[in-house]
Amino acid sequence: MSTDGPIFTRRRENFTCLRCATPVRGTGYTNHCPQCLWSRHVDVDPGDRAAECGGAMEPIGALSEGDGIVLVHRCVVCGHLRRNRGADDDDRDAGLALFGRPVPNPPPAR
């Protein structure tokens, strides 16, 4: 047996995109729409689904980090800022379009 290494809590939750109505299949890590990159304000800490807000989160910017993309989302209801790691199936053009945008008060990485 070799079960060392971090244990992730994976929650596979499907939801319908609040922005473009794309049915999003949850992977346990990704909680944003692969088409328009909008998300939902459902987490306090990533993956915990503890936020009661439930507002739509607009992708307002993107950063290059490590070998991937980090999307910055802002909740349109409460203004909460959050970073989300981009997913492999995200729309590439939508992600690239976010680069170069000014990101107000970038939230710290978790």
Stretch that binds Zn ion, among 5-13, 38-46, 64-72, 94-102 (CB under 5 A): 38-46
Contact pick of 15, 27, 29, 35 for Zn ion (by CB under 5 A): 35
Distances from the Cα of 60 to the Cα of 41, 56, 65, 80, 85, angstroms: 14, 12, 16, 12, 14
Is residue 34 a contact residue for Zn ion (CB under 5 A)? Answer: no
Nearer to Zn ion, 55 or 86 (CB): 55
Give, in degrees to the nearest 5, the angle at Cα 68 between 3 and 28.
Answer: 50
Is residue 17 a contact residue for Zn ion (CB under 5 A)? Answer: yes
Nearer to Zn ion, 4 or 97 (CB): 97
Contact pick of 64, 77, 104, 106 for Zn ion (by CB under 5 A): 77
CA distance 98 to 62: 5
- For residue 37, the one-letter residue type is L
CA distance 76 to 8: 29
Is residue 55 a contact residue for Zn ion (CB under 5 A)? Answer: yes
CA distance 93 to 36: 10
Is residue 56 a contact residue for Zn ion (CB under 5 A)? Answer: no
Question: Which residues here bind Zn ion, judged by CB under 5 A?
Answer: 17, 19-20, 22, 33, 35-36, 38, 41, 53, 55, 75, 77-78, 80
